[in-house]
Amino acid sequence: MTEPADTQPPTWLPDPSHYPEQMTPLSAATWFAAVGHGLHQAMRELRGPFGGFLARTERGWAYEGELAPGWEVDGSRLQAAAVELGERWEADLCPRAHAITAEIESMRPEDPPPEGGQQMLDRLGTLLREQWTIHFLVVIPAQVATEILHDRYIELLGADDPLAPYRLVEGLPNESVEADAALWRLARLAGELGVADDLLSFPEASVRERLALRAAGRRWLHHLDGYLLRFGGRSRWHELSLPREAERPQLTIESVRMFLETGESPRLHAAARDALEADALARAPGLRPILEAAKRAYPLKESHAYHLDYPGLLATREALLGFGRRLFAEDVIDDVDDVWMLTRAELREALAGSGDDVRAIVDERRADLAAGRAEGVRPFLGRQPSDGERHAALEKFYGTQSAVSGGAVRGTAASPGVGEGTARIVSHPDDFARVRAGDVLIAATTTPAWTPLFPSLAALVTDTGGILSHAAVIAREYGIPAVVGAVSATAVIPDGSRVRVDGDTGLVTLVGP
């Protein structure tokens, strides 16, 4: 693989839609670096119009330095990849993603001698870079396929409703929807087995211990374990130091509780989509070829994470913790989790018993992260950024943030309808336990791991994102009013206040304390 050019970008920007919190040094040096590398390599293969980015952190905050394409841009190549994505995913990309994860899962960092341990760490880095190249060979063409459909729809049918083209591919089955349905089945089973009261009454930290005391509870836990085997790689963010649901099923338990409280199963608007498709094709038969391609590509915007991101990062986390256990056993660090405070190069040296005093590095890094947490993320590093237009495939994902105006929060109208409820700010892991059915969820951004909360919400507001962001897409699929790109919503809307979210106008207003 060709590495990005050595030239450093003049400007580095944060991306709160993907990295709203600090990263540990090891996560940044492994996963975040692989993300930047993967985007660059995928765009090189696809001859895309942007070159990806170099990854950098300062005091734990992530910044991206944009790279110019080092190749001749060929729009037809990217369009062809978008149209052919469904076939390539099944034949090539998905099987390779599974093979990468299986190889990482087979690693035993505690076993080999020092040189073998270093080689294993190097191999892990190689696999991660390939994994995240595949990630972008999926998500960018999937986004482009959606835009080709959008443009063809407008050409043939006009643009009375800006969301109409996207409704033709929303409501299709995907892995996030299946995960939510599996949680609903767990909630229903809890009622059938008579353990619903335990789930509703005991805190997440002790509910599994409580359920293990009864045969019915153990039966339910058996089914929970089956769910976690398939979907347990999910986590609040991709940061590798965070436990996954397979380790601590906090979001899983809270989601089951919400289903128990509402008694309602998650429902998609599939029937409405089918009717819209029949109408659109009756009026414009020429739309069919790209619609069929987009219907195969669009669900991969969600589903890829369950074959690539979540299982791959869970395996990577386990491998890196294995290196941590090795250093702990060798009395190099005081705690296994101290390994997250090292860069990949420092970990490599520590495996050979060389390098600087590792304990001193750990102490220094923890102090640096604490100082960065107090300081906050900077608007940019390096040269003042210039205004520029993003490619359409990115602009509708990232969106344009709006400001607070006249005492109200305004953002991008992302999912129609009006919802009213108690504002629940979710910015920390324990905040999930405070979300109740009928609340308005307010967060910096969301990931597929958050989707179990969606069916029970009155509405959704995010600081970041555009009409094709994760939050916007899933909100529309569940028929939840949503406003995205409402900058500072998490800071200016009081937690516990009553708010009204207008998904048609993009306005979020306080209606009560």
In this predicted model, what pLDDT tens digit does every residue of 187-218 receive, in sequence order? Answer: 999 999 999 999 999 888 899 999 999 999 99
pLDDT at res. 392: 54
Q: Is the pLDDT of residue 390 over 90?
A: no
Residue 67 or 404, more confident = 67
pLDDT at res. 402: 54
Which whole-number Å values give the CA distances from 31 to 52, 181, 364, in the listed order? Answer: 15, 30, 22
Looking at the chain, the whole-number percentage of residues with pLDDT higher than 90 is: 69
Q: Residue 5: CB partners within 8 Å, gap ≥ 6?
A: 67, 70
Q: How confident is the model at residue 278 (pLDDT cuts 50, 70, 90)?
A: very high
Residue 451 or 300, more confident = 300
Looking at the chain, the whole-number percentage of residues with pLDDT higher than 70 is: 94
Q: Is 467 helix (H, G, I), strand (E, B) or coil?
A: coil
pLDDT at res. 1: 41
Q: Is the pLDDT of residue 399 over 60?
A: no
If you average pLDDT over residues 166-177, what whole number do you get? 88
pLDDT at res. 387: 65
Give the pair of three-digit tokens for residue 270.
């599939």
Helices (H), 194-269: 196-201, 204-211, 215-231, 250-262
Q: Is the pLDDT of residue 2 over 50?
A: no
| Poorest-pLDDT segment among 96-110, 264-278, 356-370 | 264-278
Q: Is the pLDDT of residue 471 over 50?
A: yes
Whole-number mean pLDDT of the chain?
90
Q: Is the pLDDT of residue 226 over 70?
A: yes
In this predicted model, what pLDDT tens digit does every residue of 402-424 receive, in sequence order? Answer: 555 555 789 999 899 999 999 99
Reference 18, options 58, 55, 73, 70; nearest CA is 55
Distance CA 252, CA 245 (A): 7
pLDDT at res. 455: 81
If you average pLDDT over residues 6-24, what whole number do you get? 88
Give the pair of three-digit tokens for residue 417.
């309808």
Residue ranges of domains in the chain, CATH in brackets: 175-262 (no CATH), 399-512 (3.50.30.10)
pTM: 0.90
If you average pLDDT over residues 119-143, what whole number do you get? 97
If you average pLDDT over residues 125-136, what whole number do you get? 97
If you average pLDDT over residues 465-485, what whole number do you get? 87
pLDDT at res. 33: 96
